[in-house]
Structure 1
Amino acid sequence: MDDFPARIADALETFATKVRAMTVDRIANAVRWVTAGIVVLTLAVIALILFIIGLFRVLDTAVDPEIAYAIIGGLFMVLGVLLWRKRIPKEPREDTQDG
């Protein structure tokens, strides 16, 4: 009976370790992945912006600035139209008849 307090303390420590493994460790891992995702997304956006600026500067030296603006604007317009078409999924039409 002398080791009863030690067994209770060990049981509480084991329980606390299991609870921590199920909660805090999982949340810490999720926060780590979310943080890495935000960093990667930020770097990707910066790289895209720098790529567009570089593309415009190359076009600006190759052709007149007005044509470079027209080409970049046309690319953005085509991209916008494609994204606009994808904004709402197409629903199946009900007026079609089978056979």
Structure 2
Amino acid sequence: MDDFPARIADALETFATKVRAMTVDRIANAVRWVTAGIVILTLAVVALILFIIGLFRVLDTAVDPEIAYAIIGGLFMVLGVLLWRKRIPKEPREDTQNG
């Protein structure tokens, strides 16, 4: 009976450790991944913007500014058309010549 308080304390500590492993540790891990994802996404957007600026500057020195604007605008237009075509998934065609 002398070790009863120690056993109760150990049981409570074990219970608290299990609860923490099921809640706080999982949430901390999720927050860590979300934070890393936000940082990576931010760096990717900044890199894309700097790449577009660099591409325009290279084109601007190679050709007239109007042609550089036309090339960059044409690239964005082609990208926009491709994304516009992908916005709605294609449905399988039904055979209309049954009859």
TM-score (normalizing by structure 2): 0.92
Return 5+ residue gaps in structure 2 as ranges. none
Deviations along 1:54-81, one digit per CA (max 9) or x if unpaired, are: 0000000110100000000000000011
Shift in alpha-carbon separation, 1:5–1:81, aligned structure 2, 3 A? same
1:35: how far off? 0.3
- Over the aligned positions, Cα root-mean-square deviation in angstroms equals 1.7
State how far apart, in whole Å, the 1-side matches of 2:55 and 2:92 are: 41
1:20: how far off? 0.4
Return 5+ residue gaps in structure 1 as ranges. none
1:63 maps to 63
1:98: how far off? 8.0
What is the percentage of aligned positions where both structures have the same residue?
97
Shift in alpha-carbon separation, 1:25–1:97, aligned structure 2, 3 A? farther
Deviations along 1:4-29, one digit per CA (max 9) or x if unpaired, are: 12111110110110110111101101
Shift in alpha-carbon separation, 1:29–1:98, aligned structure 2, 3 A? farther
1:90: how far off? 1.1
2:90 maps to 90
TM-score (normalizing by structure 1): 0.92
